[in-house]
Amino acid sequence: MTTKKRIMLTAVVMAAVVILVACGSDSKNGRKKNPADNSDENLTLYYANSTWTDLFPEVFTRDQLVTTENLIDTVMNALMDSGEMTDKQVPVPQGVTYQRYTYDGQATINLMFNVDWEATDTYEMVLSKAAFVRTLTQIESVKKVVYEYTDIANENSIVREELTNDSFSDMDNFMNPHEEYNIYMPDSTGQKLVQKTIDLDRSAPESLEEQMVAGLRMSYDGTV
């Protein structure tokens, strides 16, 4: 090899070494970031407090690199385990038994429960829904939570309710499950409508639609 070729080869090797050293220095100085550097972000898990009068929030650190399915599974497992702390409770009220959940891979989580309606408390039922929905909708891919309650006394009786985070934008109103609606009945002559007000209960075994139909079927003075 000629002297000229040896000089050129040496120059190339030295340049390569300088580039490698520079890259390593950038990495150590934080100029080149590993994707895992930003992999942690906090979520808030909502449990029920020990007296079932309010929500009990707890910070949960998650890894953004896991799949949505794995993250949902991790969050659900955490919600169903209150640990050794006595000031928080798994957000499944008395009279209700959690069965399982499904995720459609797009935006909806279905939560399935068995329920003994005679043993449930209205306030606790609503608090439970708030805990699950507020927790799960923090996951980017989850937009709504559908509840399926199967009556233990009649497996064919299933109540479904769809909720989003917006359902709890006015928490004070939501914690009161009763809401008044207007219905319209024909008067005794059938010539005009009479407005009536009925009270619907979001925590009742019957859906709001079923309660509305039942209200329309009721007999009122002066209406048919």
What are 35-71's pLDDT values in tens digits? 323 334 789 999 999 999 899 999 998 877 889 999 9
Locate 130 and state its tokens.
Answer: 């708030």
- For 149, list phi and psi in degrees, rounded to 5: -105, 120
pLDDT at 131: 95
Is the per-residue pLDDT at 30 higher than 60? Answer: no
Q: Where in the chain is the domain with CATH 3.30.300?
A: 42-176
pTM: 0.63
* Residue whose token pair is 């029920």: 48
pLDDT: which is higher, 214 or 17:
214
| Residue 5 token pair | 């070729």
Domain 42-176 CATH class label: alpha beta
> Is 18 exposed, middle or buried, given 0-12, 13-18 or 19+ CB atoms closer than 10 A?
exposed
Q: Mind listing the pLDDT tens digit for each residue in 111-159?
A: 999 999 999 988 899 899 999 999 999 998 999 999 999 999 998 889 8
pLDDT of residue 90 exceeding 80: yes
Matching residue, tokens 């209700």: 96
Strands 88-89, 55-63: pairing is unpaired
Strand order in 40-49's β-sheet?
55-63, 40-49, 88-89
* Contact between 61 and 40 (Cβ < 8 Å): yes
